[in-house]
Amino acid sequence: MRVVMMGTGTFAQPTFESLLARPGLVAALITQPDRATGAQRSSTRMAGPGMKELAIAAGIPVHQPESINHADGVALLRALSPDLLVVAAYGQILSREVLAVPRLGGINVHASLLPKYRGAAPVAWAIYHGETRTGVTIIRMSVGLDAGDILAQECLDILPDETAGELETRLAPLGARLAMDVADRLQLGPVIGSPQDKSLVTKAPKLKKEDGLLNWSNSAEQVCRQIRAMQPWPTAYSYLHHVGKPPIRIMVSRAAVVSDEHAGADHPLHGTVVVQSPSRLIVAAPRCEYVQIVELQPAGKRRMSAEEFIRGRGVVTGDRFGDEAV
């Protein structure tokens, strides 16, 4: 069997490595064109060292078309004569013409329990929406977005403090194992999949920088979920307003819900800083809830602990986090 791997970045790497472990199986790698450092990142999938270097080290041909769906991309794929496409976080929706090239079609490694979270950022949106379980689904590729029949699926628990990047790192090897299992079954003969239940479909659109802006009118739990979901990109952020000074853009990378020990007769307006000690940065949320910011990064500065930030900035009770114009 001749396999063409299509993928980019860290999530796809374990699947590619598993394919490479079988000599003669991989005919070529198709991956995204090289980008400037930091450009067009939407998840850990675009931050790997990765796929191209793995292929070169293994002596596998590498192709980087701007669009695999253009006529020259389809011609390239036909020239490779694959039996099967194995796709993981490739970053392009494949056309009917592309999917018609391989004898056995294509399979996609998707980091959610489909039909939930179809789209480019399933891990981030699962955390954002408070899911306690997620997983990996292998689907037979179709022209619809992540809409193909389910060929394999396995779930795992989302850990309480896990970021999107950390969870994706755990999902990647699970996806590799399931993809190899399905490829082996396809080599032996037809594999019957299960149609997705359309009534259960939810979307997981590509993340934008604006998705990281914290809404302090949300519950403390939702604020902390958003912070976890936006790591490593685009990173949650807010603006710190200090009386008499311009607002400071603050990226927040770690936070936790804390108890109502700060509650008094008058609960502070959400987003208001409550400083219990020089080592803790506590922010009010609605309904007598509080968020402790643990790790942050002021714009133009390095990442630091809240304690270090407080020492350097003189944060006081009554300062406020919110939108830039608050």
Which has the closest alpha carbon to 277: 297, 259, 292?
292
The H or E element spanning position 154 is strand 150-157
**Which pLDDT score is estimated for 47?**
47
Domains and CATH numbers, the chain: 3-200 (3.40.50.170), 209-322 (3.10.25.10)
Spatial contact of 278 and 311, defined as CB atoms under 8 Å apart:
yes
- In Å, the largest CA–CA distance within the chain is 74
pTM higher than 0.75, yes or no? Answer: yes
Query: Mean pLDDT, to the nearest integer, of 106-120?
Result: 98
- First-to-last alpha carbon distance for the chain, in angstroms, is 60
Question: Which H or E element spans position 108?
Answer: strand 106-110
Cα 294 to Cα 78: distance, rounded to the nearest angstrom: 52
Residue-level pLDDT at 56: 96
186 DSSP 8-state letter: H
How is residue 194 written in tokens?
A: 């299960």
How do residues 65-75 score in pLDDT, each as one tens digit?
999 999 999 99
For strands 320-322 and 236-241, give the pairing: antiparallel
248-300 pLDDT tens trace: 999 999 999 998 665 555 678 999 999 767 889 999 999 889 999 999 999 99
Does residue 135 have a pLDDT over 80? Answer: yes
How sure is the predictor about 39, in pLDDT bands with cuts at 50, 70 and 90? very low
Q: What is the mean pLDDT of residues 195-205?
A: 98
If you search the block for the tokens 């067009």, which residue do you land on?
Answer: 40
| 30 class by beta-carbon count within 10 Å (0-12 exposed, 13-18 middle, 19+ buried) | buried
Strands, sheet with 84-88, edge to edge from the N-terminal-most edge strand: 62-63, 26-30, 3-7, 84-88, 106-110, 133-140, 150-157
CB 3 within 8 A of CB 26: yes
Count, residues in the chain? 326
* Residue 44 pLDDT class (50, 70, 90 cuts): very low
Q: Give the model's confidence band at 42: pLDDT under 50 very low, under 70 low, under 90 confident, else very high.
A: very low
Residue 263 has what pLDDT?
54
pLDDT at 37 over 60: no
Closest to 234 measured CA to CA, from 251, 205, 212:
212
